[in-house]
Structure 1
Amino acid sequence: MEVPRHWRLQKQRYSLTGEVCPHCDAKIFPARDVCPECGGEAKEPFRFSGKGEVYSYTVMNNAPAGFERSLPYTVALVKLAEGPTVTAQLTDLGDTPVNIGMPVEMVTRRIKEDGDERGMLIYGYKFRPVLG
């Protein structure tokens, strides 16, 4: 992916910024120009809390290029407290068993390296179990 695209996605990846529809109050992630609920124009920024719960998950034992160093890793569908469901890697699990309904929170972590050892480091959101 080219560098300008990474910069454009920075708010979405670092702070879970999407949109809220001014017509029906639907919370939208990722941001898009049209509300998927009512079809109205949706351009109001909305920052999600980063709180949610595991809706479903799987453990990845094979990885696409750029993710091999992370194997095995857990990917989950996370239902955000505000409504939308996002796909994200779970992190900081330690010995914690993953289960459906487990409360999680968003954290910013390294996703991958783009290119060789001198390439760009790509950061974004992942989710970890809620501490305490």
Structure 2
Amino acid sequence: MTNVDDRRIEIVPNRHRVRVIHYGVTVADTLHALTLRETGLPDVIYFPREDVNMARLKRSDHTTFCPYKGHAAYFHLQTEDGLVENAVWTYEEPLDMATKIKGYLAFYASRVDRIDQTS
């Protein structure tokens, strides 16, 4: 287990085309993603809002707090078959070490069909 004092985050530009696809619908498609690497956790891809179909997202009341990134707000993903609850999160006012992801959106890989990364 990682000691809290040993945890580090790094945010770097993702040089690939990245897409989120759910039920055959492309929900996000970007060449301008950021990858957040956090000690002890899988990498997370963050999408600029302008490259996400915001009409498919519905704000949730759910929030969480990370001592490294701050308060996260959530969105449900709207599909033809209903809502995928809290499938997307964002840090609208992140803490200093995470300012690069301000306003970007991340998708839970387990709640969408695919997150594709290509060259």
TM over 0.5: no
Question: Radius of gyration: which is bigger?
Answer: 1
TM-score (norm 1): 0.32
> Which has a greater percent of strand?
2
TM-score (norm 2): 0.34
